[in-house]
Chain A
């Protein structure tokens, strides 16, 4: 059951990325190009997503428990450490170079563009390395 629900949620998330244009790196890079071919569309993606999530989370979190898990697991930290600056800085540089963040990269796998096939294994290797390094330091 959980597998089917997660599959459906992944499809819904992916359709959102496609319909919104966020799955297209050219559109992402134009959004980031304030001084050139600026395309403000992605501000609307973020706006739409955040407004729906803002309202929806508040409705959902009135419940005592989620439907398929014993409890809600929300991040509880509020400190801003070096990792929270270094990580997003590296991520943002990579995002600006390739136009892919993780979600859109997965939606691009099926079209199998050479750039995508180079990006995804590298991204997974980077994720693995970050987890391994974090484990070692913990």
Chain B
């Protein structure tokens, strides 16, 4: 079980949205994590590599800052099934780039732009996520 946290989740979501808006204001681009991370690999079509690396470094550093400022530790319960996590990682990495976006690019920025493609993509990955957890927890695990 995890606690239902509507207020913290709403505020955290607003911070994510604010970051996406400021990215649009500063760089004129979509704050899509899969797009940013995948373009750390060649071929390079532009000169934005340092900014992309800095953004990812910010993501990596955020929990350290959070822990230092609040004194609270960041709770992350990660599966210790390494084979499962490798398969999950391959699917998430390949699928998000193949589909031109993940939860941030399609799910936040795309929906906010009322993009038809993002509504389709978000619907598909949500449905696939629900179905996968159902199978893992209630068909195989049940």
A→B interface (CB under 8 Å):
2-27, 29-30, 32-37, 39-42, 44-54, 56-57, 59-61, 63, 65-69, 71-75, 77-80, 83-103, 105-111, 113-116, 118-131, 133-135
Total A-B residue pairs with C-beta atoms closer than 8 Å? 505
A residues less than 8 Å from B122 (CB atoms): 88
Query: Which among B4, B8, B90, B111 has the greatest number of chain A C-beta atoms within 10 A?
Result: B90
Task: Give Cα distance in the complex from A59 to B20, angstroms.
Answer: 13
A residues less than 8 Å from B16 (CB atoms): 13, 16-17, 20, 22, 45, 48-49, 52
Q: Which residues from 40 to 67 on chain B have a C-beta closer than 8 Å to any C-beta of chain A? A: 41, 43, 48, 50-52, 54-66
B→A interface (CB under 8 Å):
1-6, 8-31, 33-34, 37-38, 41, 43, 48, 50-52, 54-66, 74-82, 84-100, 102-104, 106-113, 115-117, 120-122, 124-134, 136-138
Q: Is the CB of A94 within 8 A of B90?
A: yes
B residues less than 8 Å from A8 (CB atoms): 58
